[in-house]
Amino acid sequence: MDGDSKLTRRELMGTAASLGIPAIIPSHVLGRQGRQGANDRIRIGVIGTGGMGQHHVAPDTVAICDVDDEHLANARRRITQGEPFMTKDFRRLLERKDVDAVIIATPDHWHGIMTVMACQAGKHVMCEKPTARTIAEGRAMVQAARKYNRVVQIHAQGRSNPNAHAACQFVRNGGIGTIKRVDVWHPVNFSTNSWGEEQPVPSTLDWDMWLGPLPWMPYHPLRCHFNFRWLMASGGGFIRDRGNHALSIVSWLTNTDDYKGLVTCEAKGQRHLTGFYDVPATMEVTWQFRDPDWTLTWSQPGKPNPRFPGDWGATYTGDRDDLIVLGGDGGCEVEQKAKEFKVPPGGVEIYKSPGHRENWLECIRTGKRPVMDVEIGHHVVTLCILGNIAWRLGRKVTFDFANERLVGDEEANRLIDEPYRPPWKLEV
Amino acid sequence: MSIPAILAQRPTAASLLADITAGDTETRQRAIEQSVLVGTPLIVPLGRVMAGSDPAAGKAALEALRCVAHHCARPGAGAERATAARELLKLTEAAFPRHVRSEALMLLGCIGTAEHAPALARLLKDPQVQTDALMALQRIPGAAVDRALRNALTGAAQPLRGAIELALQARVRRFRRR
């Protein structure tokens, strides 16, 4: 595809092409109470097919969307069963009746809008991490999932990793005693020597659609694919990216997904001054939870624990022992004592996910909540976002999880939500 | 250390601007952190550095500007916040390049109050920064902001008119949550 006119033609062709794939009785006809039947095929569309998105495109994906033709072409090559619908505009994909569920793997600033609109269109959703760009978007995603009764899983897939599961059973059954602190370490954010001078937009890319709700900014490749991570407006740095993975495991092991109390958060870090990226080059964040009292830290660069070293991970310190868990995304390792642990009679048995995608599909069929339900994702990413808010403001903030408000800080509360560039809006 | 000695070490606007403009990275980092000690008098000079031709100095100035603005809106800051907002409004004038005006508007969205609504609403007529002004107004609480936006609807042509209507709707959702 090379432009809007061709996009229109392709969309029309996609509609026709869908008639060529083997006849499928719509799932909503076969299923009961709005659910897919046990043997129905769940027809998946993927929105955002670069980066992580390309790995979500399966041979039988029925629709793909990306604002970059190159991503679309690459994704198309992964599809071997039937002719997928292809578009640069996710709204066209959401309109389709032959799509039951969508995987959203766009940059963060689209997650809220697309998840809400997908739920409104009757689609189940698996959304890449980080859950959302703002606390308000995360809440809107939860509201949409509940209002439209859709299964929304966040692709922070550590909760489907067997080693993370072993760690969780070990810790939840008192393997280290009462948790006093968790210290996460991670490499520093990326840097650049570029100043981001405006460059011509590649002919394959719809830059305005890539930006979507973000404030307008000139095109530069270091603002776009992958590199958007290093700008506060779009990416929020590693703390909101890998942090969503790492803190998901922390929240799971500490059994604090439902924490509704106060948490204080303070952050410091060196500013990136050799280029235009504006997430901090280094970052030290401390969250203090209450009742029970425990401390969570995030360190970039952090110091790997020499007992069980790894690129990134966390040390869980209890009043009897400690445990090191490495990673927390698709890759996760844990010390042997957790792997060897057997749950005693009457102990805490944690549900073991068959795989993140499999768990999501299973929940679409059963109507159950997935292991990384959007509400958990919202809770976890809120911690990450608080770290960035505290760093931006240069002061300690206190967040009230019950009311989702920052306590006694009017300016900080303005950062719970970000205004959207017109015509985009977030309405559940 | 004696009080005069401490005062002698306290940075001045001139010393900080010199460090931000011509210092090495470490000097700039320190100057950015210390910028809150001088505060609002730095805002316009920092905007001028941002408008200059040295991108490294401009970046350091940007970071210092953000530090100062957010510091002035800390709980209990009192009149400092209003002063900072007034200074930021100066950076929205057309004499400054777009990136400086946009940044000032983003910060005004964070620290501005309803009293700044008329000035921000006037910028809705400026094609270069009208979207930034609209996004700033979306964040600021108060009936005066709603009034300013509704007044701006009068005579506004599309697509600005639609954008203002969207902003008004977004404000209803934003402030209903609170």
CA-closest candidate to residue B48, choices B119, B103, B118: B103
User: What is the number of domains present in chain B?
Assistant: 2
Q: B71-117, pLDDT tens digit by residue?
A: 999 999 999 999 999 999 999 999 999 999 999 999 999 999 999 99
The residues of chain A scoring below 50 in pLDDT are 1-33
Look at A423 and B139 and tell me if their CB atoms are within 8 Å: no
Rounded mean pLDDT, B43-67: 98
Burial of A159 (0-12, 13-18, 19+ CB in 10 A): buried
Look at B131 and A392 and tell me if their CB atoms are within 8 Å: no
The verdict on B31 and B78 lying in the same domain is yes
First to last CA, chain A: 33
The verdict on B96 and B138 lying in the same domain is no
Range of the domain at B47: 1-112
Among the candidates B93, B112, B131, a domain finishes at: B112
pLDDT at A5: 27
First to last CA, chain B: 48
CA-closest candidate to residue A103, choices A380, A360, A329: A360
Q: Which residue has the tokens 């905007």?
A: B47
Domains of chain A, earliest start first: 4-158 (3.40.50.720), 160-193+209-351+373-414 (3.30.360.10)
CA-closest candidate to residue A419, choices B26, B120, B155, B3: B120
Residues of B with CB under 8 A from a CB of A: 25, 28-29, 32, 36, 55-56, 59-60, 62-63, 66-67, 70-71, 73-75, 102, 106, 109-111, 131-132, 134-136, 138-140, 159, 162-163, 166-167, 169-170, 173-174, 177-178
- Cβ–Cβ contact A290 with B under 8 A: no
Q: What residues of B are in contact with residue A411 (Cβ under 8 Å)?
A: 70, 73-74, 110-111
The verdict on B152 and B107 lying in the same domain is no
What are the counts of helices (DSSP H) followed by strands (DSSP E) for chain B? 11, 0
Of A4-8, B124-128, B169-173, the range with the lowest mean pLDDT is: A4-8
The verdict on B46 and B124 lying in the same domain is no
Closest-CA residue of B relative to A403 is B178
As a whole number of angstroms, the distance between CA A350 and CA A172 comes to: 9
The verdict on B105 and B124 lying in the same domain is no
pLDDT at A21: 30
Look at A422 and B59 and tell me if their CB atoms are within 8 Å: no
As a whole number of angstroms, the distance between CA A357 and CA A157 comes to: 9
A interface mutation test: which of B20, B135, B138 has the most A CBs within 10 A?
B135
Look at B74 and A405 and tell me if their CB atoms are within 8 Å: no
Q: Give me the interface pTM, i.e. the ipTM.
A: 0.95
Helix axes B98-111, B55-72, angle to 10 degrees: 20
Nearest to B135 among A136, A215, A409 (CB): A215
The verdict on B124 and B145 lying in the same domain is yes
Q: What residues of A are in contact with residue B140 (Cβ under 8 Å)?
A: 414
**Are A292 and A286 contacting, i.e. CB atoms less than 8 angstroms apart?**
no
The verdict on B8 and B52 lying in the same domain is yes
As a whole number of angstroms, the distance between CA A69 and CA A49 comes to: 10
pLDDT at A13: 30
CATH number of the domain at B19, please: 1.25.40
The verdict on B6 and B94 lying in the same domain is yes
Q: Read off the pLDDT band of B6 (50, 70, 90).
A: low
The verdict on B96 and B152 lying in the same domain is no
Closest-CA residue of B relative to A406 is B178
Taking residue A312's Cβ as centre, other Cβ atoms within 10 Å add up to 22
Q: Read off the pLDDT band of B23 (50, 70, 90).
A: confident
Q: Read off the pLDDT band of B5 (50, 70, 90).
A: confident
pTM of the model: 0.93
Look at A395 and B74 and tell me if their CB atoms are within 8 Å: yes
Look at A275 and B59 and tell me if their CB atoms are within 8 Å: yes
Rounded mean pLDDT, B30-35: 97
The verdict on B132 and B69 lying in the same domain is no
pLDDT at B135: 97
pLDDT at A27: 44
The verdict on B17 and B103 lying in the same domain is yes
Look at A422 and B29 and tell me if their CB atoms are within 8 Å: no
**Are A427 and A215 contacting, i.e. CB atoms less than 8 angstroms apart?**
no
The verdict on B90 and B153 lying in the same domain is no
Beta carbons within 8 Å of A302's beta carbon, 6+ residues apart: A183, A184, A185, A186, A312
Q: Read off the pLDDT band of B7 (50, 70, 90).
A: low
β-bridge partners, A153: A126, A373
Chains A–B, number of C-beta pairs less than 8 Å apart: 93
